[in-house]
């Protein structure tokens, strides 16, 4: 499957000069969506993955499918203020400011290996924040999965040690 054809490209969003890779078009294409989930399952078929931590919000969709297929827990990494229980949190830098993600402490089992799932890996800041929460709770990162990677934004410098895997990379041409 040519995944590139299934990804909508939106020029000048969210601001002029940016080409936005919109993965929501994958979810409206059952063949493309199935391809993404199947490839993810194959990518980690030999890895020890005790659970999935999916990042809000498009990471929830792919992470949930993987967790269900593999029979492992799904934990949500949400924007600050969206989870009602006791949480662990981590802030990270955005282009203009800062954001914070939270995970329920009770959901993040120590000594387990967690696969971090997001739709797109750009600078690696979001993934790095989730990895910091995992490690602070005494657990390990089993790997990192994203549908799209933007390696020209140098995410490998921040998260390379977690062996990020993507299905398609765009190089900023």
pLDDT, one tens digit per residue, over 60-110 is 999 999 999 999 999 999 999 999 999 999 999 987 789 999 999 999 999
Question: For residues 39 and 62, is the Cβ–Cβ distance under 8 A?
Answer: no
Q: Where are the domains of the chain?
A: 47-169
Q: Give the pLDDT of residue 94.
A: 81
Q: Give the pLDDT of residue 173.
A: 59
pLDDT band with cut points at 50, 70 and 90 for residue 172? confident
- The mean per-residue pLDDT over the stretch 30-40 comes to 98
pTM tops 0.85, yes or no: yes
Can you tell me the distance from the alpha carbon of 115 to that of 79, in angstroms, rounded to the nearest whole number? Answer: 19
In the CATH scheme, what architecture does the domain 47-169 have?
3-Layer(aba) Sandwich (3.40)
């Amino acid at each position: 499957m040519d995944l590139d054809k299934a990804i909508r490209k939106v020029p000048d969003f969210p601001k002029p000069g940016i080409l936005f890779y919109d993965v929501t078009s994958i979810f409206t294409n059952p063949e493309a969506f199935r391809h993404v989930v199947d490839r993810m399952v194959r990518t980690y078929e030999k890895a020890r993955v005790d659970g999935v931590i999916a990042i809000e919000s498009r990471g929830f969709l792919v992470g949930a499918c993987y967790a269900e297929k593999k029979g492992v827990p799904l934990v949500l990494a949400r924007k600050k203020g969206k989870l009602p229980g006791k949480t662990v949190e981590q802030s990270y830098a955005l282009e203009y400011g800062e954001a914070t993600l939270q995970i329920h402490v009770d959901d993040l089992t120590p000594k387990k290996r967690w696969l971090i799932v997001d739709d797109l890996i750009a600078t690696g800041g979001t993934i790095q924040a989730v990895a910091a929460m995992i490690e602070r709770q005494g657990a390990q990162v089993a790997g990192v999965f994203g549908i799209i990677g933007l390696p020209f934004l140098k995410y490998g410098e921040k998260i390379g040690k977690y062996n990020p895997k993507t299905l398609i990379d765009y190089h900023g041409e």
